[in-house]
Amino acid sequence: MGVTQILFWFLSALAIFSAVMVLVSKSPVHSVLWLIAVFFAISGHYILLNAQFLAIVNIIVYAGAIMVLFLFVIMLMNLNKETEPQKNLWMKLTGVVSGGCLLIVLISLVRQATEIKDKIALTNKGDIGLIKVLGKTLFSGYIVPFEISSVLFLSAMIGAVVIGKKD
Amino acid sequence: MNAIIFSALIGVVMMLSGIVIKSKTGIKNLAVILLFVLLGGHLAEFYGVFNIHLDTHEMLATTRFGMFFNTIVITATLFYALLSGDEVVKVGTYGAEYFALIFFALCGVTILSAYNNLLMLFLGVEIMTIPLFVLTGSEKKNLKSNEAALKYFLMGSFSTGILLMGIALYYGATGLFTIEAARNPNDTHHFYGILLPLGLLFIFISLAFKVSAAPFHFWTPDVYDGAPSVFTSFMATIVKAAGFIAFIKLFEIRAFDMSFSWKILLPLIIVLTLLAGNITAVFQQSVKRMLAYSSIAQAGFMLFALYTPNEFGKQGILLYAAAYSLATIGIFAVLMKMKDYTFEGYNGLAKTQPVLAAANTVFLLSLAGIPLTAGFFAKYYMLAGALKESSSNLWLVIVAVLFAAVSVYYYFRVIQAMYFKEGNAETIEVKPFFKILLIIVAAVIILIGLMPSLLLDLFYA
């Protein structure tokens, strides 16, 4: 068992354990913190798959921005025992059924996909996810949308100032 | 390419000018000058004098149709800035920024007239709408303006989400982002069967939202009513026309196989849009809100261009964009001079401001589609195109004509109030220059109405 394989199993176990903890934690803030751990574990997987860009974006956008937003919302809503909504049996049952449906779809998909049969992960293969390749594509074939999106961001920034600044 | 680069750069210049120029008229005059520069830069490309050539890797494809549309849009914006520029700077303390946002929205419009790739469609739509969210909410002390901005932003975000979902499905089906890909879908892909139509349907829904076609029109009255009138005028004309150009560019590709479901879906949406717009407009008390509904009704007519992807439809939409934009900009310019936005507020305007009333009458007649105005030929081209496509469209044409007759009712209510009702319509100060401009716009509308070939010959020249 090489280092990559040990890492792979470790990250997988971490991801699954954290995901379970997201569900069983009583406090919503703890759930969010566990979710951040899940994202970090998945980012580790991306690095193993040679997808550096995806890994970094996953940490910056998901673990960074979106999770902070989650935390803000939870704190703003001020969730505690008294305000917790009553979950009845039907609600739980629907949750189990819909989650189970998704699980069936995913399992059948993995079982049918012949390309990935008997493989743990395609570690260290391919260069499609490398930042170098991505940068080259971005600055050759996709240069026009890349540059034009700056207009979009500029107008959004002006908008934020116009709306946000005190008169 | 010129128009895109110029409008983006001019937006930056406009934004920075706010540091130097403090006077409000100065900012307005600068915006008008820069619009002339933009128009000049665009015409230079149109007539092959000077063109910034960039290798866009087939992301953008400038066509004669798109260039001609850009000319119409930039000219309409010029009239808009001349007529209502003073109101733009009056809305709040950020006059230069408002104009910068208008220029950025124009940049989005020019991208939409030239896109050849769904990525550019997405960018164009976003560059066009994000400034509008801000402009809608620019009247910060007004609760209605805030509400409108939030509504528009939330609904717009969802429609963008649907657009992206559609593009993703499209990519999944064809493996490409180019709009040509819909013509030659990759047959080896076994999911092609449902993914491509589904993706196109999602894109269709999102664009239908942008042009406020029923049943995706519910945001329109509130947003148009809540936004400061001067920005409503911009949104209802230039931006809406751009939505249609984006629409046509994408769906003319599919025109070769107008499938059965498509032939059912589009007439249904056209009839629904005409119904929702016209019938609700009849019951409005405020002229501004009536105009919001009338813009939905006009969108119903413009959708005909989508249904008839032949030369008639293409010429018709250009004519319609010009006629509708000019007339609506004029009506809003007059509306902004009124102190009272209800129908009663117009009572007796012919006595106090005869020029305003006369010009307003021409604009309203054009919107209603009365002969000798540009609106008549615009509607004629739309309906004639539908009949040319197939004579089985006769029922649709008859329905459209009936709804046009309904629209005459609420447009004429304003004319009736102006000329035949006793009252003392109060206006804010009207400058002679404004009156002259109104007469020019009205003259252009009548000129196009007399000789639509004047405009269309340019298209073929």
- A159–B101 C-beta distance less than 8 A: yes
Choose the mutation target among B15, B132, B177 for the interface with A, i.e. most A CBs under 10 Å: B15
- B120–A152 C-beta distance less than 8 A: no
Residue B428 domain-assigned (yes or no): yes
Burial (0-12, 13-18, 19+ Cβ within 10 Å), B54: middle
Radius of gyration from C-alpha coordinates of chain A: 21
Domain containing B302 equals 258-461
Which residue in B449, B446, B361, B376 sits closest to B412, CA to CA?
A: B361
Query: Would you call B144 helix, strand, or coil by DSSP?
Result: helix
Which residue in B336, B338, B349 sits closest to B421, CA to CA?
A: B349
Classify the complex by whether its ipTM is higher than 0.85, answering yes or no: yes
Do the beta carbons of residue B331 and residue B441 sit within 8 Å?
no
CA angle B341, B228, B132 (to 5 degrees): 145
In this prediction, residue B336 carries a pLDDT of 92
Q: How many domains does one find in chain B?
A: 1
Query: Would you call B115 helix, strand, or coil by DSSP?
Result: strand
Residue B5 domain-assigned (yes or no): no
Query: Would you call A81 helix, strand, or coil by DSSP?
Result: coil
In this prediction, residue A167 carries a pLDDT of 74
Cross-strand bridge partners of residue B117: B178
Q: Does A113 touch chain B (CB under 8 A)?
A: no
Residue B156 domain-assigned (yes or no): no
Choose the mutation target among A139, A144, A163 for the interface with B, i.e. most B CBs under 10 Å: A144
How far is it, in rounded angstroms, from Cα A39 to Cα B422? 71
Residue B321 domain-assigned (yes or no): yes
A152: closest chain B residue by CA: B127
pTM for this predicted structure: 0.89
Task: Return the residue matching tokens 């559609």.
Answer: B166
- B100–A142 C-beta distance less than 8 A: no
Q: How far is B166 from chain A (nearest CA, A)?
A: 19
Q: Which amino acid is at A41?
A: A
Q: How many other CB atoms sit within 10 Å of the CB of residue A20? A: 12
CATH class of A3-129: mainly alpha
Do the beta carbons of residue B95 and residue B27 sit within 8 Å?
yes
Q: Does A82 touch chain B (CB under 8 A)?
A: no
Per-residue burial over A131-158, b if 16 or more Cβ lie within 10 Å, else e, is eeebeeeeeeebbbbeebbebbebbbeb
B120: closest chain A residue by CA: A145
Instruction: Retrieve residue B445's tokens.
Output: 């509308």
Instruction: Using an 8 Å CB-CB cutoff, list chain A residues near B130.
Output: 152, 155-156, 159
Do the beta carbons of residue A130 and residue A50 sit within 8 Å?
yes
pLDDT tens digits in sequence order for chain B, 461 residues long:
889 999 999 999 999 998 999 899 999 999 999 999 999 999 998 888 888 888 888 888 888 889 999 999 999 999 999 999 999 998 888 899 999 999 999 999 999 999 999 999 999 999 999 999 999 999 988 999 999 999 999 999 999 999 999 999 988 888 888 888 776 655 545 455 678 888 888 999 999 999 999 889 999 999 999 999 999 999 999 999 999 999 888 887 765 555 666 778 888 999 999 999 999 999 999 999 999 999 999 999 999 888 887 788 888 899 999 999 999 999 999 999 988 888 888 898 888 889 999 999 999 999 999 988 999 999 999 999 888 888 888 999 999 999 999 999 999 999 999 999 888 888 888 889 999 999 999 999 999 999 888 888 876 65
Query: Would you call B178 helix, strand, or coil by DSSP?
Result: strand
Q: Does B11 touch chain A (CB under 8 A)?
A: yes
Instruction: Retrieve residue B55's tokens.
Output: 């290798």
Question: Which candidate from A140, A152, A158 shows the least CB-CB separation from B123?
Answer: A152
pLDDT in tens, A118-155: 666 666 667 777 888 888 988 988 999 999 999 999 99
Q: How far is A167 from chain B (nearest CA, A)?
A: 7
Residues of chain A numbered 139-158 and touching chain B (CB < 8 Å): 140-145, 148-149, 151-152, 154-156, 158
Residue B455 domain-assigned (yes or no): yes
Instruction: Using an 8 Å CB-CB cutoff, list chain B residues near A155.
Output: 11, 100-101, 104-105, 127, 130-131, 134
Distances (CA, A) of B170 to B16, B226, B253: 40, 36, 14
Cross-strand bridge partners of residue B427: B338
In this prediction, residue A98 carries a pLDDT of 94
Listed by start position, the domains of chain A span 3-129, 130-167
| Res. A87 pLDDT band, cuts 50 70 90 | confident
Three-class secondary structure assignment of B252-292: CHHHHHCCHHHHHHHHHHHHHHHHHHHHHHHCCCEHHHHHH
- B98–A162 C-beta distance less than 8 A: yes
- B60–A143 C-beta distance less than 8 A: no
Residue B449 domain-assigned (yes or no): yes
A162: closest chain B residue by CA: B94
